[in-house]
A and B are shown apart, each in its own frame.
Chain A
Amino acid sequence: MTPQEIVDRLKEKFGDKVLESKLDGVSPWTEVDPAAILEISRFLRDDEALLMDHLELLGGVDYKDRIEVVYVVYSMKHRQRHILKVKLPRENPHIRTVESVWRVANWHERETYDMFGIVFDGHSDFRRILCPDDWEGYPLRRDYVFPKSYRGMPV
Chain B
Amino acid sequence: MDVEFSGDIMTLNMGPQHPSTHGVLRLELKTDGEVVHEAIPHIGYLHRCFEKHAENVEYPGVIPFADRMDYVAAMSNELGYVLAVEKLMGIQVNDRVRYLRIIMAELNRIASHLVAAGTYGLDMGSFTPFVHCFRDRETILDLFEETCGARLLYNYNWIGGLMFDILPGFEERVIKFLDHFEPLVDDLNRLLSYNYIFVKRTANVGILTPEMAVSHGVTGPNLRGSGVKFDVRKDEPYLGYEEFDFDVPVGKGEYGPVGSCFDRYIVRIREVIESCKIVRQAVAGLKPGDIQEGIPKRIKPAAGEVYMRTECPRGEMGFYIVSDGGTKPYRVKVKSPCFTAMSAFKEISRGAMIADIVAIVGSLDIVLGEIDR
> Min CB distance, A145 to chain B, in Å?
12
Stretch at the interface among A12-20, A21-29, A36-44, A86-94: A21-29
The smallest C-beta distance from A122 to any residue of chain B, in angstroms, reads 17
Of the candidates B88, B217, B342, the one whose C-beta lies within 8 Å of that of A56 is: B217
**Given the known A-B contacts A79-B235, A103-B216, are A59 and B340 also in contact in the complex, defined by CB atoms under 8 Å?**
no
B335 is an interface residue with CB less than 8 A from chain A: yes
Chain B residue nearest to A79 in the complex (CB)? B235
Q: Closest residue of chain A to B371, judged by CB?
A: A130
Return chain B residues, CB-CB under 8 Å to A59.
Answer: 320, 333
Are the C-beta atoms of B217 and A104 separated by less than 8 Å? yes
Contact indicator A103/B215 (Cβ below 8 Å): yes
Question: Inside 8 A of A139's CB, which chain B residues have their CB?
Answer: 49, 52
Is A126 an interface residue when CB atoms closer than 8 A count as contact? no
Q: Considering the complex, give the chain A residue whose CB is closest to the CB of B236.
A: A79
Contact (A76, B331) CB under 8 Å given A81-B307, A131-B47 = no
Q: B318 contacts A72, CB within 8 Å?
A: yes
Is the CB of A97 closer than 8 A to any CB of chain B? no
Number of B interface residues at 8 Å Cβ cutoff, please give it. 38
Q: CA of A130 to CA of B370 in the docked complex: distance in angstroms?
A: 12
Q: B166 interface residue, CB < 8 Å from A?
A: no
Contact present for B304 and A25 (CB under 8 Å): yes
Task: Give CA–CA (A111, B217) in the complex, Å.
Answer: 15
Interface size, chain A (Cβ < 8 Å): 32
- Taking CB atoms and an 8 Å cut-off, the chain B residues in 293-315 that contact chain A are 304-307, 309
Given contact pairs A56-B335, A57-B307, A129-B43, A102 touches B49 in the complex (Cβ within 8 A): no
Contact of A104 among B90, B216, B304, B320 (CB under 8 A): B216
Q: Does B44 contact A (CB under 8 A)?
A: yes
Q: Is the CB of A140 within 8 A of B307?
A: no
B44 adjacent to A129 (CB under 8 Å): yes
Q: How far is the CA of A57 from the CA of B87 in the complex (A)?
A: 18
Residues of B within 8 A of A128 (CB): 44
B-side contacts of A119, CB under 8 Å: none
Is the C-beta of B339 less than 8 angstroms from some C-beta in chain A?
Answer: yes
Instruction: Give a binary string over A39-70; 1 marks a CB under 8 Å from any B CB, 0 the rest.
Output: 00000000000000111110101100000001
**B40-78 at interface with A (beta carbon < 8 Å):** 43-44, 47, 49, 51-52
Question: Contact between B217 and A70 (Cβ–Cβ < 8 Å)?
Answer: no
Interface: B230 (CB within 8 A)? yes
Closest to A128 in B: B44
Counting chain B CB atoms within 10 Å of each CB, which of A57, A115, A132 scores highest? A57
| Chain A, Cβ-Cβ closest to B87 | A26
Interchain CB contact under 8 A, A103 and B309: no
A62 CA / B212 CA spacing, docked (Å): 32
* Contact (A56, B304) CB under 8 Å given A106-B343, A131-B47, A132-B44: no
Q: Does B263 contact A (CB under 8 A)?
A: no
Chain A interface (Cβ < 8 Å from any Cβ of B): 25-27, 29, 53-57, 59, 61-62, 70, 72, 76, 79, 81, 83, 102-104, 106-107, 111, 115, 128-132, 139-140
Please list the residues of chain B having a beta carbon within 8 angstroms of any beta carbon in chain A: 43-44, 47, 49, 51-52, 87-88, 90, 212, 214-217, 228, 230, 235-236, 304-307, 309, 316, 318, 320, 322, 330-331, 333, 335, 339-340, 342-344, 372-373
A-B contact pairs, 17 of them (CB 8 A): A26-B90, A26-B306, A27-B306, A54-B217, A56-B307, A57-B333, A59-B320, A61-B330, A61-B331, A70-B320, A70-B333, A83-B305, A104-B215, A104-B344, A107-B342, A128-B44, A129-B44
Which 5 pairs, one residue from A and one from B, show the smallest C-beta to C-beta distance? A104-B217, A130-B44, A59-B333, A107-B343, A57-B335
